[in-house]
Amino acid sequence: MLMMPAVPRRTRFADWPLALKSILGFWLFYAATVVARAFLGSDPLTTVENKLLVIVVGIALTALIYLTIAGFGMGRSIRAKALIAVAASVIGSCLMAVMLISTEDHLRPSREQFRVQASEGMVVVAQDRTLKIERRAAEPLVLTLPKFGQLDANQRFRYAADVAVIWLFFFLAWSAFYIATQAQSVALGAQQRAAEAESAAQAAQLRALRYQVNPHFLFNTLNSLSSLIIANRGEEAESMVLKLSTFFRQSLTLDAGADISLAEEIALQRLYLDIERVRFPRRLKVEVDVPANLEKARLPALILQPLVENAIKHAVSPTRDTVILRIAAREAGPGRFAIEVENRGGRPLASKTVDVDGTGVGITNVRQRLSARFGSLATCAYGPTGDGGYRVELLLPLDLQD
């Protein structure tokens, strides 16, 4: 019985490592831009120090946004998660604006100055909240910008809204990245599970087709054994039983879904043909032509078995003449090789019709196994030859890996 691997139950915050990495990645990028900008000025340490609180609070708020999305969005659609993310980002940006405004009086004043030459000839110097206008032949005019608390209600609201909107885009950008990454992870997981299910189904199909071969072979061999016993050929029947046990000992140890080398497949077919030679010592002649460079070519185990059995059953059994059964392999272009199972010679007895009883496996089984294993990359062609024989040709992908 095939047991499918259990799918682990997903918890609300199972993807916290991904969220943590993305949060730290976003804020480290922001910190890098702050540092780069700070060292372009004349007082970088003060600029970096004033931004540290922003970074710490920003990481905390982004983490809260993650907890909100993961907590309330589990099992919901992407659209629902997006709405939750927008709401959480709006709240987060408002909290960031409140934090920045409330800590305004606690920031260290920067010594960095910005000097701008006005078109009227005056020089405007900006430092922290102070604007100084240097005029020719006159004392500098110094202006101090009002603090947040000194603004009227409308101006305070607009200032706070401007700050909140700036951070809203940052939080929305992270939320979009997180939801997209999460959706991709879910899609990849579903795709992987579908691929595993398809692979398991294909493996089950291959095993089912492979397991058809042994009963089919046993049925035909027992028929041959029965014929020897009825004909009082006891020693030959005993020899067949011994060879049959050797064949099953080797073939049943094979993984039903595994590939074997062409050399191993030929060795198995020789064992089977040794069994049939006991029954047809004078009628059956075997020829094998496999180039050394193809001996390691991989193919499904016992894929040739039904073809060899058919040749024995329909060519050797109904005649008294010698039948040549030939198994040959050759390269068939880049990345492909061909295997032929051909019988020639022999004429059916006039007084005996061909025995067609059996389990109905044969070429159908071979074609189904090739289709399940290789799809359209493998073909099976068959038909009579001009000299009265029959040939089956398998065209397979060439894989020489051990």
Taken in order of first residue, the domains within the chain and their CATH numbers are 16-105+152-193 (no CATH), 113-150 (no CATH), 233-397 (3.30.565.10)
**pLDDT bracket for residue 290 (50, 70, 90):** very high
Instruction: Please check the confidence at residue 373 and state whether its pLDDT lies above 80.
Output: yes
Predicted confidence band of residue 348 (pLDDT cuts 50, 70, 90): low
pLDDT band at 176 (very low <50, low <70, confident <90, very high): very high
Secondary structure, 3-state, 188-249: HHHHHHHHHHHHHHHHHHHHHHHHHHHHHHHHHHHHHHHHHHHCCCHHHHHHHHHHHHHHHH
- pTM for the model stands at 0.51
Using left for φ > 0, alpha for ψ between -120 and 50, and beta otherwise, residue 108 falls in beta
Q: Is residue 8 over pLDDT 50?
A: no
Q: Determine the average pLDDT of the residues in 273-283.
A: 84
Beta carbons within 10 angstroms of residue 264's beta carbon: 17
Q: With beta carbons less than 8 A apart as the criterion, state whether 352 and 333 touch.
A: no
pLDDT value at residue 149: 74
Residue found by looking up tokens 């305070």 in the block: 156
350 has a pLDDT exceeding 80:
no
pLDDT category at 287 given cuts 50, 70, 90 is: very high
pLDDT at 356: 38
Reduced to 3 states (helix: H, G, I; strand: E, B; else coil), residue 283 is coil
Return all residues near 157 (Cβ < 8 A) that are at least 6 apart: none
Which residues neighbour 369 within 8 Å (Cβ) at sequence distance 6 or greater? 206, 209, 210, 300, 303
Q: What is the pLDDT of residue 281?
A: 84
Give per-residue pLDDT as tens, 180-220: 988 888 788 778 776 666 655 555 555 555 555 556 567 76
pLDDT exceeds cutoff 50 at 352: no
Which pLDDT value is given to residue 2?
Answer: 41
Query: What is the average pLDDT across 147-174?
Result: 88
Residue the block writes with tokens 């799918």: 7
Confidence grade of residue 394 (pLDDT, cut at 50, 70, 90): very high
